Amino acid sequence: MKQYRLLIVDDEQRFANMLAKRLRLRGCHCDICYNGQQALDLVRRESFFLILLDLHLPDIYGIEVLKRIKATSVMTPVIILTGHGTEEDRRTCMHEGAYAFWHKPLGIDELMATLARIGEMPP
Amino acid sequence: MIDRIRRAFRSIWPEFYRQDKQHLDPYFTFTDYRKIWAIGIFVLVATALVPLLVITIIHYQLLQESVESELTLRAERLASNARRAVTFFLEERLDALRFTVNEIAYGQLTDPDHLAEILRNLKLGFGGLTDLSVISHTGTQVAYAGPFNLEGRNYSNQRWFIECQKHHFYVSEIFRGYRDIPHIIIAAKSFRPDGSFFLLRATLETERLIQTLSTYETGAHAEIFLINRSGIVQTPSKYYGDIFQKISLPVPAYSQRTQVAMAEDDQRRSIILGYAYISTQIADSPFILMVVKQKAGMMKVWQQLRSSINWFVGLCTLTILVVVIITCTFIINKLYLADKSKAETMALMEQSNQLASIGQLAAGVAHEINNPLALINETAGYVKDLFVLKEQFHQDDELIGYIDDILDAVERCGTITSQLLGFARKFEVKIQKVSLKEIISDVLVFHNKEAAYRSIQVHVEVPEDIPAIETDRGKLQQVLVNLVNNAFQAVDNGCILDIAASSAGVDKVRITISDNGCGMPEETLPKIFEPFFSTKEGDKGTGLGLAITYGLVKKLQGEISVKSKVLEGTTFTITLPTRIQKEISENEGSTG
C-alpha cells in the first residue's frame, strides 16, 4: 500500500488520536493538530497528501482554516469532517474548494477508497 | 325528507353562523361574527327606517291638518251661505210688512177685501204667506185675510204681541199654534193718526224655508237645520232630534259671526259643527242655523290616501329589511371567510414554525450525538483493526462479532441522526421526468400482497392527459410509500383506499390519497407532521414517518396538507410543481 501522508485537524483529541492510529495501521503517515493555527503552521512547512479538517476548532473556524490552506497549497485536497455541519456550511466549504464534506461518524473503508481514488488521479 | 330540508337549509345558512372551527379561534381577528352581523343589520336598518318613519308621521300630521282645515273652511262657507239665505228670507218678508203698514192706511187695512187683496199681492211677490191679520193695540184681531178665520181672538197676553209692542218688529220661532201646523209669525208695528198703535201680522209657511235650507245640503254627510235658542229643533233633522224636540247636541254659545268647531255627537261620532245666530237688520230672530258634517264620511279620501301610504311604507320597510339582511349576511360572510383563511394560514405558519424549531432542535441533538458516535466508531474500529490486523488476536471470531455489533449500532444511530436532520443527504437530487401513473403503480407493487390478504380495495385514478412531471423520483417514491403505508396502517380490513392525481393550475399537479379508515380527531391534525408524534399505540410507530414525508415534500418544492374526520377517514393532498426549480448542486460525497 502506498504511504500517504495525512493531516488530521480536530479538537476532539481522543477521536483524532484513534483515527490516526487506525490510519497508521493501514500504512498511512498521520500528523495531528488540535487547533487551527497549529495546522496552518504545519501546512506551511510540510506538504500533505490529504487533510481531514474539523469545522469547530477552538481558535479559528474551520472554513477560515480551509481558505488559508487553499491560499498556500491549492493542490492539497481537504475533506471537511464534522459533527455539526449545516447545509450552509456545506455549500460554503464546497465553494471554497473542499474535496468533500463528510459527517461524523466516519467510515474508514470509504476514507481508504477515497485515498486510493485521489492517488490514482493525474497530478 | 326532513333531513333533505335540513341539508338545504344548512347549505344556504351563512358559514359564520356555525362557528365550529374551534381550534382556529385564537387566530381570528373578530371573535363574535353573529354579534357583528346583528349590530350591522340593526344600524343599517335603523339608519334607513328611522328617517322614513319620521317623515311618514310628519306627512300624516300635515295631511290631516290640511284636510281638517279644508273641511272646516268648507263648513264655514256653507254655514255663512245658508245664514245669508235664511236672513234674506226673513228680511224680505219683514220689509214687505213694514212697507205695507207704512204705505196703507189703517182704515184700508182693516177692510177685509183690501186685506185679502194685499195678501194676494204679497203671495204673488214673495210666496210662502198663509194669512194676514191686523191686531189693534188692545190685542184683538180686527181684520183677517186667509184660510183660518180667527177674527175677534185676543192676543194681548201672547209673547209675540208683547215683544212686538217693545221692538216694533217681531219674528217668532216655529210653532204649531191654534192651527196645529208648523209656522212662523212675523209682525210689524205701526201708529194710527190718533196715536194708538196696531200690528200687521203675517203667518209664514215653513215649507219655503225648509226648501231653501235643503238646497244647501251637499252630500250625505252634511245636514243643515234650524234650532231655537233653547235648543228645540225647528226644521227636520235626520240625526239630531225630531222637530219640536230638544236637540241631542249642546246649544252653541252666542256669537255674532259664523263659527265652526270640532265636536262629538251623542253617538260619539266626530263631527264638524258650523253654526250661526240668525239676526236680521230689522229684527232679531230666535233661530240658530246648524250645519253638521259627519267627519268620518268626509275623511274617506284621506283614509284611502293613508292606507296607500301605509302600504307603501310597509313595502319599503320590507324591501329595506330584505336588502339589508342579504347585504349584511353576504359582507359578513365574506369577512368571515377572509378572516378564516387568514386564521388557517396563521395556524399553518405557526405549525411550520414549530416544525422548523423542532427540526432545529433535532438537528442540534443529532450533531451533539455525532461526536461521541464518531469516537465510539473510531475506538471500536481501532479495536477491530487490532484484532484483524495483529496476528495474535485474529482468531477470536466471538470478540470480532461483538465489535461488529457495536459498529452496526453506531451506523444505525448515524442513520437515525441523519434522518432526524431531515436532509436525506444520501440521495442526491436527481431530476428526471416522472409519469405519475407509473410511479403510483410502482409504489403499489409493494402493497399488492397486503391489500389482497386484507381485502383492501385500492382505486387509482390518474387521467391520461396529465403530463409527466420533472422531479426527484426517489423522493417522490419515498413520499408515496410513506403515505400509502400510513393509510394501510389506518384502515381496517375491507376498507377502500383512493389514490387520484389531477392538474392543479397551469404548473402544478395534485395527488390525493384518501382512506375511509378510522380518521383522526381535529385537535391532532396540526401535530401529525411533527417529529416523534404518533397516534399508533405502543412502539408500532417511530413518529418520524410523516415528519420525514413533510421534509421530503418541501424538498420537492411542494405542499402537503391533511383533512380528517373521526370514523370517516383521512385525505392527504400533495401539490407538486410540474417542474422542480434546480438547486445549486455540487459534487458532494457522503459517509452517511
Taking CB atoms and an 8 Å cutoff, what residues of chain B touch A105? 370, 373-374, 376-378, 410-411, 414, 591
User: Touching check for B350 and chain A: CB below 8 Å?
Assistant: no
Q: Given this model, what pLDDT does residue A30 score? A: 93
B435 torsion bin: left (phi>0), alpha (psi -120 to 50), beta (else): beta
Cβ atoms of B309 and B55 within 8 Å: the answer is: no
Which whole-number Å values give the CA distances from B188 to B101, B102, B411, in the listed order? 7, 10, 152
What are the start-end ranges of the E strands in B90-235?
A: 129-136, 141-145, 169-171, 183-191, 197-205, 222-228
Tell me how far apart the terminal alpha carbons of chain B are, to the nearest angstrom: 64
Q: Name the average pLDDT for chain B.
A: 83
- Give how far B434 is from chain A: nearest CA, Å: 27
pLDDT bin (cut points 50, 70, 90) of residue B543 is: low
CA distance B69 to B302: 13
Closest-CA residue of chain A to B385: A22
User: What's the pLDDT tens digit per position in B470-499?
Assistant: 888 778 888 888 888 888 888 888 888 999
User: What's the pLDDT tens digit per position in A29-83?
Assistant: 999 999 999 999 999 999 999 999 998 888 899 999 999 999 988 889 999 998 8
Q: Given this model, what pLDDT does residue B237 score? A: 86
Q: Given this model, what pLDDT does residue B270 score? A: 87
Q: Is residue B522 pLDDT above 70, yes or no?
A: yes
Percent of chain B predicted with pLDDT > 90: 25
Cβ atoms of A33 and A8 within 8 Å: the answer is: yes
Taking CB atoms and an 8 Å cutoff, what residues of chain B touch A88? none
What is the average per-residue pLDDT within B361-375? 78
CA-CA-CA-CA torsion sign (B351, B354, B360, B361): negative
User: Touching check for B584 and chain A: CB below 8 Å?
Assistant: yes
Which whole-number Å values give the CA distances from B479 to B202, B353, B476, in the listed order? 131, 21, 5
Which whole-number Å values give the CA distances from A5 to A36, A72, A97, B260, B444, in the listed order? 18, 17, 20, 135, 52
User: What's the pLDDT tens digit per position in B182-207?
Assistant: 889 999 999 888 888 999 999 998 88
Complex-level ipTM: 0.83
Cβ atoms of B552 and B478 within 8 Å: the answer is: yes
Taking an 8 Å cut-off on Cβ atoms, the answer to whether A102 and B589 are in contact is: yes
Q: Which of A12, A18, A79 to mutate to test the interface with B (most CBs of B within 10 A)?
A: A18
Taking CB atoms and an 8 Å cutoff, what residues of chain B touch A99? 589
User: What's the pLDDT tens digit per position in B221-253?
Assistant: 788 999 999 999 999 888 888 888 888 888 999
- If DSSP codes are grouped into helix, strand and coil, which group holds residue B319? helix
Per the model's pLDDT, the better-predicted residue between B19 and B94 turns out to be B94
Cβ atoms of B139 and B156 within 8 Å: the answer is: yes
pLDDT bin (cut points 50, 70, 90) of residue B87 is: very high
Q: Which residue has the cell 177674527?
A: B151
Q: Which three cell numbers stand for residue B66?
A: 290640511
- Give how far A45 is from chain B: nearest CA, Å: 29
Q: How many residues does chain B have?
A: 592
| Rounded (10°) CA dihedral B240, B246, B251, B255 | 100
CA-CA-CA-CA torsion sign (B446, B447, B453, B459): negative
- Lowest pLDDT segment from A86-90, B37-41, B199-203, B428-432: B428-432
pLDDT bin (cut points 50, 70, 90) of residue B419 is: low
Cβ atoms of B510 and B501 within 8 Å: the answer is: yes
Tell me the count of A-B CB pairs closer than 8 A.
Answer: 86
Of the candidate CATH numbers 3.90.960.10, 1.20.1200.10, 3.30.565.10, 3.30.479.10, the domain formed by B427-591 belongs to 3.30.565.10
User: What's the pLDDT tens digit per position in B558-567?
Assistant: 889 888 888 8
H-helix or E-strand spanning residue B216: none
- If DSSP codes are grouped into helix, strand and coil, which group holds residue B197? strand
Cβ atoms of A24 and A30 within 8 Å: the answer is: yes
Taking an 8 Å cut-off on Cβ atoms, the answer to whether B592 and A101 are in contact is: no
User: What's the pLDDT tens digit per position in B324-357?
Assistant: 999 999 999 999 989 888 888 887 777 766 666 6
User: What's the pLDDT tens digit per position in A84-122?
Assistant: 777 788 889 999 999 999 888 888 888 999 988 888 875
Which whole-number Å values give the CA distances from B316 to B53, B56, B331, in the listed order? 10, 12, 22
pLDDT bin (cut points 50, 70, 90) of residue B420 is: low
Q: What residues are paired with B77 via a beta bridge?
A: none
- If DSSP codes are grouped into helix, strand and coil, which group holds residue A79? strand
User: Touching check for B32 and chain A: CB below 8 Å?
Assistant: no
What is the average per-residue pLDDT within A22-30? 90
CATH 3.30.450.20 in chain B, residue ranges: 66-298
Q: Which of B14-28, B274-288, B546-560 has the highest mean pLDDT?
A: B274-288
Q: Which three cell numbers stand for residue B526?
A: 396540526
Closest-CA residue of chain B to A110: B591
Taking CB atoms and an 8 Å cutoff, what residues of chain B touch A104? 370-371, 373-374, 377
User: Touching check for B414 and chain A: CB below 8 Å?
Assistant: yes
CA distance B331 to B151: 102
Strands B197-205 and A78-82: unpaired
- If DSSP codes are grouped into helix, strand and coil, which group holds residue B591? coil
Percent of chain B predicted with pLDDT > 70: 90
pLDDT bin (cut points 50, 70, 90) of residue B422 is: low
Cβ atoms of B463 and B502 within 8 Å: the answer is: yes
Taking an 8 Å cut-off on Cβ atoms, the answer to whether A18 and B375 are in contact is: yes
Q: Given this model, what pLDDT does residue A75 score? A: 87
Per the model's pLDDT, the better-predicted residue between B63 and B347 turns out to be B63
Q: What is the CATH number of domain B66-298?
A: 3.30.450.20
Q: Is residue B319 pLDDT above 80, yes or no?
A: yes
What are the start-end ranges of the E strands in B26-128?
A: none
Cβ of B145: how many Cβ atoms within 10 Å?
A: 23
Taking CB atoms and an 8 Å cutoff, what residues of chain B touch A103? 370, 414, 418, 425, 590-592
Q: Is residue A1 pLDDT above 80, yes or no?
A: no
Phi first, then psi: what are they for B434, rounded to 5°?
-125, 125
Residue B531 CB-half CA count within 13 A: 18
User: Touching check for B381 and chain A: CB below 8 Å?
Assistant: yes
- Which of A21, A104, A114 has the CB atom closest to B370's CB atom? A104
- Which of B368, B370, B386 has the CB atom closest to A105's CB atom? B370
Cβ atoms of B456 and B493 within 8 Å: the answer is: yes
From the list B414, B383, B378, the residue with the least C-alpha distance to B400 is B383
- Lowest pLDDT segment from A10-14, B176-180, B198-202, B581-585: B581-585
| Rounded (10°) CA dihedral B228, B230, B235, B241 | 160
Strands across the sheet with A78-82, in order?
A: A29-33, A5-9, A50-53, A78-82, A100-103
What is the average per-residue pLDDT within B411-418? 75
Taking an 8 Å cut-off on Cβ atoms, the answer to whether A83 and B586 are in contact is: no
CATH 3.30.565.10 in chain B, residue ranges: 427-591
B208 residue type, one letter? R
Strands B129-136 and B569-577: unpaired
Which whole-number Å values give the CA distances from A74 to A71, A99, B202, B474, in the listed order? 6, 11, 158, 36
Cβ atoms of A10 and A81 within 8 Å: the answer is: yes
Q: Given this model, what pLDDT does residue A7 score? A: 95
Which whole-number Å values give the CA distances from B21 to B16, B25, B348, in the listed order? 10, 7, 14
Strands across the sheet with B197-205, in order?
A: B141-145, B129-136, B197-205, B183-191, B169-171
Q: Is residue B587 pLDDT above 50, yes or no?
A: no
Q: Given this model, what pLDDT does residue B20 score? A: 66
Q: Which residues contact B417 (CB under 8 A, 6 or more apart)?
A: B365, B366, B367, B369, B370, B373
- Which of A99, A106, A110 has the CB atom closest to B377's CB atom? A106
